[in-house]
Amino acid sequence: MTAPAKLENAEKYRFNSPLWRDKSLASHAFAEMRALTAQVSERTGKTVNIMEVCGTHTMAIASSGMRKLFPPGLKMLSGPGCPVCVTSQGDIDRILSLAALPEVTLATFGDMLKVKGSGGFDLNHLREKGADILVVYSPLDALAFARSNPLRQVVFAGVGFETTAPLIAASVLRARKEKIKNFSVIALFKLVPPALKLLLSDPQNNISGFLLPGHVSAIIGVEPYRFVARGHKVPCVITGFEPLDILAGINMLLRQLARGRAEVEDEYYRAVKKSGNPTAIKLMAKVFSPADASWRAIGRVKKSGLVLSPEFSGFDAVRRFKIAYREAPEPRGCLCGAILMGRSIPPDCKLFAKACNPSSAVGPCMVSSEGACAAWFKYGG
C-alpha cells in the first residue's frame, strides 16, 4: 500500500516546522496507519508492538494526544532511551556521595535533582542540608564555574547518551588545555546500540519494530543500527519529533512489516546523515573509551557505556575521590526497569499516580521530563 498523495507531498514541508502539525496530513497518515495495521495483524496474527526508544519521542507522543488515535492492533512501547531513567541505583548513590563531600560543588542538569538514592533522599535533600549543588544547562557552565572558583572541586554529573557525551568531551579537552585542575566528571554515559542488542536478546521481547532516536542518530548516523535489521530481522526507522515525523516513521515501519522487510530507514534525514557527525564522533573517541555499564533494573551490560580513557583519567571524579560502586536494590514496588524493557506500561505499576507522582516520585521514570511515567501521568494513556 502506498501513502496517500497528499502525505507523500509532505516532503516539501520538511523545513517548515508548523506544517509538520498539519491536521489534514495527519488525518491521511492515521488512515494509512489503520489500513497497514490491519494488514500486518492479518498477516502475522499478532498485535504490532513498536518501541519508541527515545524518551523525547515518548513525551511527544503523549503530549500530542496521538496515542488515543492509534488503531487497536498497534501498541507503542517506551524503551530505555531516558538517560536519567536508565542510570542505575548504584550510580545515583555515587552521585549523591560526591555531592555530600564538603569540598565539592556538584554540577548537574536539573532533571537529576529529584532522583532518589537507595537511602531515600535526593540531591534536593542534600542541598537543603548544605551541599553545594549547581544546576547548569551545559558542561561548559560547570567548567566556567570551576575556572572562577579555583578553591572548589567542581564535579559534573555526566549522565546521558551519545548526544551528551561530545559536549562533555569538549569540556574535558578545554579543561586540559587551560590547565583547570579543579574540574572533573563522573562519566555515566550509555550507548544506544548495545541497549537495542540487550532488548532483542530478552526472551520476553516481543518488539515488531523500533522508532530510533533522532538526536542520538544525528551524532552516530545510520550504520550502527544495521545489526538490528540484518541479524534480528527487526525493522527500524530513525524519526524526528514533530507529530507528522512520528506518524510518518510509524507508517514506514508498518510498510516494512506488511511487506516482510527489515531495513534501517531514515525519516529524519533533514537532520541525520548516514555517517552522523564525524566531529562529534572523533571527540567521543578521543576522550572516552567503551566500557561495561550498569543499567537500572537490567544489570551490567557489556560495552554499553563510556568512561574516560587513560589519557584523561585525571579528570575522572570517581578515581579522584575514590567513590566505589555498590549495587543497590530498586525502590520497592517500582516497575521502572520493566517499563524501560517494554514489558510493562506505567499503569501496570501499583505505585503509579498514587504513592508515585511528580510531587513525590518513587522511581526516575516519574522524575525525568523524558520518563514514560511522567508522560502518562501528565497526558494520560
pLDDT along the chain (381 residues), means of 10: 43 50 88 96 92 94 92 93 92 96 96 91 95 96 97 96 96 98 96 92 88 97 96 96 94 96 95 96 97 88 95 96 90 90 92 93 91 92 68
Residue 27, burial from CB neighbour count under 10 angstroms (0-12, 13-18, 19+): middle
d(CA 293, CA 36): 39
Residue 305 corresponds to which cell in the numbers above?
557505556
Domain with CATH 3.40.50.11740 in the chain: 85-192+276-321
Pairing of strands 183-190, 299-308: antiparallel
Query: In CATH terms, is domain 5-80+205-266 a member of 3.40.640.10?
Result: no
d(CA 329, CA 295): 12
Look up the pTM and report it: 0.90
85-192+276-321 CATH: 3.40.50.11740
**DSSP designation for 330:** P
Residue 36 corresponds to which cell in the numbers above?
497497514
Cα 190-196-199 angle, rounded to 5 deg: 110
- Which residues on neighbouring strands pair with residue 137, listed in sequence order? none
Distances (CA, A) of 127 to 104, 132, 135: 12, 6, 11
**DSSP designation for 20:** G
* CA nearest neighbour of 94 among 119, 75, 111: 119
What DSSP element (H or E) covers 105? strand 104-108
Return the residue matching grid coordinates 510498510: 255
Residue 43 corresponds to which cell in the numbers above?
498477516
- CA terminus-to-terminus distance, the chain: 29
With contact defined as beta carbons under 8 Å apart, do 229 and 235 qualify? yes
For 137, what's the count of Cα atoms within 13 Å in the CB-facing half-sphere?
Answer: 0
> Helices 23-44 & 243-258, crossing angle to 10 degrees?
30
Residue 19's pLDDT is 62
Residue 301, burial from CB neighbour count under 10 angstroms (0-12, 13-18, 19+): buried
With contact defined as beta carbons under 8 Å apart, do 297 and 338 qualify? yes
Domain with CATH 3.40.50.11750 in the chain: 5-80+205-266
For residue 108, the one-letter residue type is: T
d(CA 321, CA 104): 10
- Which residues on neighbouring strands pair with residue 152, listed in sequence order? none
